[in-house]
Chain A
Amino acid sequence: MITSRLFTAPRRAVIGLMLAGSLFLAACGGVAGDSWAGIARDPEGDAVYVAYNERVVALNPSSGAVQWEYKHDGAKFFAVPAIDNGSLYIGDYSGRLHSINLQDGSRNWLYEPDTENIIGPISLTAGDRVISGVAFNDDKVFFGLGSQNVVAVSRATAEELWTFETGHGVWASPLYVHAREGDAGSRDTLYAVSLDHHLYALDPETGDELWKRDLGGAAPGNMVYDEQLNRIYIGTFMSELVAVDLDQRAIIDRYETEGWLWGSPAIEVQEDGTETLYFGDLDGYLYAVEVTENGFSQRWKMKIAEDAIRATPLVTNGLVIVGSKDKNVYAVSKEDGSSEWSDQTGGEALTELVLVPGSEGEQDGSIVVLGTSESDERIVAYNVETGEVDWRYAD
């Protein structure tokens, strides 16, 4: 008798609402934001800059105290801030680029993309996002858009100078490479990788395509430039680290990994000129790979985390330090990958890691700053040598 009353029209209405609500929660539950915090440090200044959700803050690297805070109506920040010549540049989730004064957090200028509204707020242009960081030359700032474009704007006026269309989103920061001295055939070039699997070489003055190469898989993470060998290294979702020789404009080697690659490798150059790349994959493996004339040669490979290592490792003081989605930070020996110290973080540690040298030099009293997905521990600073927490910042 009771059951007969359970499924009357009002009950069905409630059940329907619950289903829809559950669907909504199932899709969105458990995720605090759309991305992780962006962290950067001014090598010439005394602050760590953090971009997360609605604000950009400057933190004192010794204490984590807030020096200034920047907000803008409706802006959400998840990109990595870029710092140059007294200004901080960061894109937001509305496709805009902000230039902020490093001294006080005031805004220098704001670039807003053109939108063609046809009736009221109805626009032919879908909203766009800036997920990538930025690159510079003397007079331009370059960045990628979540949809498909690479954009160049004037550094002085924020005027849009050109856009270049790729086949998919550009999430990685563009890379500006100056012409090599003594090489007459060399020229300033802007490189951009897209989720459409391609590496593009562009003329930074006009945005014209110079050449492109198919990497075989999407490349959401940043490229790294090897100045010594004039190469670019890019990780892809085909579980490969790809070496592109810029002289030959060709892929010269691919190093196969266990999982997808997102973060760019950290390059360490020995005194004898030997180069080693350190990078992690999304399956929790960490790699040390030596760079040779012909490509790559593995030194060691170690499964150190239970979940993804997304960001570029930090190599300092004989250690390779990485954060992981498994809510841990790991420091291992750069010689063989053996564990030196580790610590549990409050949330997933997916942000870039920033080194703040100690007052007496990099080898003494240095701290590594990283971010987590937990608001109570948005930013954590660890002593490099001991692995002890130096300070925390909650937002």
Chain B
Amino acid sequence: MLDIIINPFITILLFLYEILGGNVVLAIVVFTILVRLATYPLTMKQQRSTKAMQEIQPELKKIQEKYKNDRERAAAAQWELYREHGVNPLAGCLPLLIQFPILIGLYRAIVATLAATPLQLLDLSGRLWVKDLSSAVPMDSRFLWLNLAVPDPLYVLPILVVLTTWLQQKLLMPASPASSGGDKATDQAAAMSRQMMMIMPIMFGIFALSFASGLSIYFIVSNIIGIGQYAMMGKIDLKQALGLKKAEDEAAAPASKRAAKAKARAEAGESASEPSSAPVVASEPARPKRGRSSEPAPAKAKRSGVYDSRAQRAKAKR
């Protein structure tokens, strides 16, 4: 079934290889960039959702502390918080599911065209949509000191794979602040996030050590593009990612800002009957206004992703 994706990918990759002077690394880089560009809207949705979830983590934590003995009320308050901030917890998953077969297709296309083994070369037969591209099979796998069909003997690429994977993980999943109130669930989540940040780079590093180094090129380029896409969202913080800034301070900052805003609104008599530094989820949430209406407009959910984006953007600008 994946042939629908793999076969055109193989054809495009070989076409790029032909027009880029038979440079396999350049072909892989350009191909990875093209695929990542094509999936850019999905990636952005996923990353926005992830970031929005990160931003409300302190407030979620406070809800869990406040209603630690009442799960139903905690869940209701969480849901209200999501609604208020225009966050859909499912939004991070759907784009990922759509991208998944594309990523596998990309991966398989690179493995197939490098054709490191007889079975891989045999598998290429009948996959080309343009018969003339048969002359490009198999791609020349030599580049600098590398034979891209086998692992890197100098371990340079596996190290780069580990570093870029770690950095991307670190940026996308900053360390959660440790629970001060003994919230086991939050502590566990933070611990698992930290483990994840260790496991993923190591796992991809092992892949890079074991498989064709052409795949390492793909992993590295893909990670760099992922980091670049995250940076384009404008809030990349290398200091925090590299542990030069305390995660807790950083996490507390947006919550304090929101609390201050809520206080200001309360003073102006807009809403928030209970001005405090705590998130406003326990009371009536302050809903963003739409257009010129003075009535609070209900947030309208889209199919996925961050909803009520206009109000969110206005809020972000302020």
Do the beta carbons of A9 and B193 come within 8 Å of each other? Answer: yes
B145 → A minimal CB distance (Å): 6
B143 → A minimal CB distance (Å): 11
For the complex of A and B, 4 pairs with smallest distance between CB atoms: A13-B196, A34-B117, A10-B192, A1-B75
Contacts of B273 in A (CB 8 A): none
Q: Provided the pairs A36-B119, A238-B134, A308-B125 are in contact, do residues A12 and B173 lie with their beta carbons within 8 angstroms?
A: yes
Q: Provided the pairs A23-B104, A124-B154, A125-B153 are in contact, do residues A4 and B118 lie with their beta carbons within 8 angstroms?
A: no
Do the beta carbons of B104 and A220 come within 8 Å of each other? Answer: no
Interface residues of A in 281-338 (CB under 8 A from B): 282-283, 308, 310, 325
Q: Complex formed: what's the CA distance from A41 to B142 in Å?
A: 36
Contacts of B190 in A (CB 8 A): 9
A327 → B minimal CB distance (Å): 14
Contacts of A6 in B (CB 8 A): 89
Q: Name B137's contact: one of A16, A23, A167, A218 (CB within 8 Å).
A: A218
B121 at the interface (CB under 8 A from A): yes
B309 at the interface (CB under 8 A from A): no
Contacts of A16 in B (CB 8 A): 196, 200
B108 → A minimal CB distance (Å): 6
Q: Complex formed: what's the CA distance from A308 to B127 in Å?
A: 13
Do the beta carbons of A239 and B134 come within 8 Å of each other? Answer: yes
Q: Name B203's contact: one of A20, A146, A195 (CB within 8 Å).
A: A20
Interface residues of A (CB under 8 A from B): 1, 3-10, 12-13, 15-17, 19-20, 22-24, 26-27, 31, 33-36, 78, 122-129, 131, 146-148, 167-169, 171, 195-197, 216-218, 220, 237-239, 259-260, 262, 282-283, 308, 310, 325, 350
B207 at the interface (CB under 8 A from A): yes
A251 → B minimal CB distance (Å): 15
Do the beta carbons of B154 and A218 come within 8 Å of each other? Answer: no
Q: Complex formed: what's the CA distance from A4 to B196 in Å?
A: 20
Q: Provided the pairs A7-B90, A23-B103 are in contact, do residues A126 and B152 lie with their beta carbons within 8 angstroms?
A: yes
Contacts of A148 in B (CB 8 A): 142
Do the beta carbons of A26 and B125 come within 8 Å of each other? Answer: no
Instruction: List the one stretch of B92-100, B227-235, B261-269, B291-299 in contact with chain A.
Output: B92-100
Q: Provided the pairs A4-B75, A34-B118 are in contact, do residues A195 and B138 lie with their beta carbons within 8 angstroms?
A: yes
B282 at the interface (CB under 8 A from A): no
Contact with A along B156-188 (1 / 0, CB 8 A): 000000000000000001001000000000001
Do the beta carbons of B117 and A17 come within 8 Å of each other? Answer: no
CB closest chain-A residue, reference B196 = A13
Do the beta carbons of B118 and A220 come within 8 Å of each other? Answer: yes
Q: Complex formed: what's the CA distance from A325 to B122 in Å?
A: 10
Q: Name B134's contact: one of A5, A13, A34, A237 (CB within 8 Å).
A: A237
Do the beta carbons of B153 and A126 come within 8 Å of each other? Answer: yes
- Size bracket, chain B contacts: 35 or more
Q: Is the interface of B mostly helix, strand, loop or mixed?
A: helix
Do the beta carbons of B119 and A4 come within 8 Å of each other? Answer: no
Do the beta carbons of B118 and A36 come within 8 Å of each other? Answer: yes
User: What are 19 A-B contacts defined by CB distance under 8 Å?
Assistant: A4-B79, A9-B193, A16-B200, A17-B196, A17-B199, A27-B211, A33-B119, A34-B116, A36-B118, A126-B147, A126-B150, A127-B151, A147-B147, A216-B135, A238-B134, A260-B134, A262-B122, A310-B122, A350-B122
B87 → A minimal CB distance (Å): 10
Contacts of A20 in B (CB 8 A): 200, 203-204
CB closest chain-A residue, reference B74 = A1
Interface residues of B (CB under 8 A from A): 2, 53, 72, 75-76, 78-79, 82, 89-90, 92-93, 96, 100, 103-104, 107-108, 111, 116-122, 125-126, 131, 134-135, 137-138, 140-142, 145-147, 149-155, 173, 176, 188-190, 192-193, 195-196, 199-200, 203-204, 207, 211
Do the beta carbons of A26 and B108 come within 8 Å of each other? Answer: yes
Contacts of B211 in A (CB 8 A): 27
Q: Provided the pairs A9-B176, A148-B142 are in contact, do residues A127 and B153 lie with their beta carbons within 8 angstroms?
A: yes
Q: Provided the pairs A26-B104, A217-B135, A260-B134 are in contact, do residues A35 and B117 lie with their beta carbons within 8 angstroms?
A: yes
Q: Complex formed: what's the CA distance from A33 to B116 in Å?
A: 12
Contacts of A167 in B (CB 8 A): 140
Q: Name A1's contact: one of B76, B92, B107, B207 (CB within 8 Å).
A: B76
Do the beta carbons of B119 and A31 come within 8 Å of each other? Answer: yes
Q: Complex formed: what's the CA distance from A36 to B118 in Å?
A: 8
Contacts of B141 in A (CB 8 A): 168
A148 → B minimal CB distance (Å): 7
